[in-house]
Amino acid sequence: HFHQSADIISTVEFNHTGELLATGDKGGRVVIFQREPESKTEPFSQGEYNVYSTFQSHEPEFDYLKSLEIEEKINKIRWLPQQNAAHFLLSTNDKTIKLWKVSERDKRPEGYNLKDEEGRIKDISTVTSLQVPVLKPMDLMVEVTPRRVFANAHTYHINSISVNSDYETYMSADDLRINLWNLDITDRSFNIVDIKPANMEDLTEVITAAEFHPHHCNLFVYSSSKGTLRLCDMREAALCDKHSKLFEEPEDPSARSFFSEIISSVSDVKFSHSGRYLLTRDYLTAKVWDLNMESKPLETYQVHDYLRSKLCSLYENDCIFDKFECAWNGADSVIMTGAYNNFFRMFDRNTKRDVTLEASRESSKPRAVLKPRRVCAAGGKRRKDDISVDSLDFTKKILHTAWHPTENIIAIAATNNLYIFQDKLNSEMH
């Protein structure tokens, strides 16, 4: 790797208004970007995102009982809906979830009675008169403080956190269990899913992702390495081992190969904003499921079908285990997910048009337009500007993407670079 691996971005997340965007990286840092207000004088500087605050969320730790190094890498960030002037976010590494408060200070108190200007406590006997302390303006400071630490609840690595629509609880999922937390209580959580077999030799699947329904606080979904989705209802039982619905596509026996199970593992699942659909990503495809239809997906999109013939070498270089995320646009009409060679894909659910775009320094310049890219399969007919499969760079992978909740603004993490594209998508998709 040519870059400092600590700088590799491991998660990207807009807050509920889209005014803030947080990234986490392998070095345990969180960087928050804030959207600038529109400028009257320079129309092009409208709404750029600039660094608002940077802080160290997690440090590397050592588990002495298991003799294991616990990485500081941030696996997921989730914002809490804003309820006052401060912002709150949850960040997690493999083992520990933290709740952070992000607040602004632009005034400082002066004129204390019992402290001098340097903050030293005065000798009470020297205080002869009382004054009313005043607030004086000062340069804006963004303060980030840890409010809660939720630890020691996961034996395996945490892959997901999701804030419930009741704003009081959230869940955290690892390979075999899902826990439900109250945001105010750190010393206990409730185990709501446990798929650990009595004998670990019987283990056939792991949990890969989990998310709460956006509007119904009793519903959540989790995906597995076997390609299944389970919708669970917390009203039915405290331990949701019996799912309410199981979404699974029957396998085509003629297409079966050594890699079938690996490539069917679901790497991400996201409810649509409406709450009616589920978007999932596996190695080669993205699928949209209707909550009312369990037998098969409503829509299947080929992300990079030209890799089907390359699975052997992708298995050898471990790329076949890459976990790509997926995202909905604000209207649930377009989905987005990443690929290799710094490419990412968009699929319009209404027009059925799709496009491959590239995240690069060139494409992120203010007036640059995102040019569609085309990859031609091995042995296929190559047109001008087509990229051949054999020249794709598999070290440049776009695993993490996020879409602004209401506008055509996307954030793309390309290894250690964050690209934010605004309103550059329209001409391509419509």
327-352 pLDDT tens trace: 999 999 999 999 999 999 999 999 99
- Which tens digit of pLDDT belongs to each residue from 214-240? 999 999 999 999 999 999 999 987 777
Integer Cα distance of 258 and 322 in angstroms: 17
pLDDT level of residue 118 (50, 70, 90 thresholds)? confident
Beta bridge partner(s), residue 285: 302
pLDDT score for 430: 43
Asked whether the predicted pLDDT for residue 427 surpasses 70, the reply is: no
Scanning 205-316, the segments in alpha helix (DSSP H) are: 260-264, 311-316
Smallest CA-to-CA distance from 56 within 75, 76, 32, 28 is with 28
Beta bridge partner(s), residue 120: none
Q: Which residues contact 399 (CB under 8 A, 6 or more apart)?
A: 322, 323, 324, 325, 338, 413
pTM for the full predicted model: 0.89
pLDDT score for 46: 60
Q: What is 60-82 written as a DSSP string?
A: -EEETTTTEEE-----EEEEPPP
pLDDT score for 316: 96
| CA dist 327 → 12, 37, 210, 407 (Å) | 11, 25, 14, 13
Asked whether the predicted pLDDT for residue 358 surpasses 70, the reply is: yes
pLDDT score for 45: 55
pLDDT score for 263: 96
Scanning 117-175, the segments in alpha helix (DSSP H) are: none
pLDDT score for 369: 75
- Which tens digit of pLDDT belongs to each residue from 37-82? 876 666 555 678 999 999 999 999 988 887 889 999 999 999 999 9
HSE value, Cβ hemisphere, 13 Å, CA-based, for 60:
6
Range in 40-49, 78-87, 183-192, 371-380 with the lowest mean pLDDT? 40-49
Beta-strand relationship, 61-63 and 49-56: unpaired
Higher pLDDT, 303 or 124: 303
Residue 315: count of CB within 10 angstroms of its CB: 15
Reduced to 3 states, what is the DSSP secondary structure of residue 254? Answer: helix
pLDDT score for 40: 62
Higher pLDDT, 256 or 359: 359
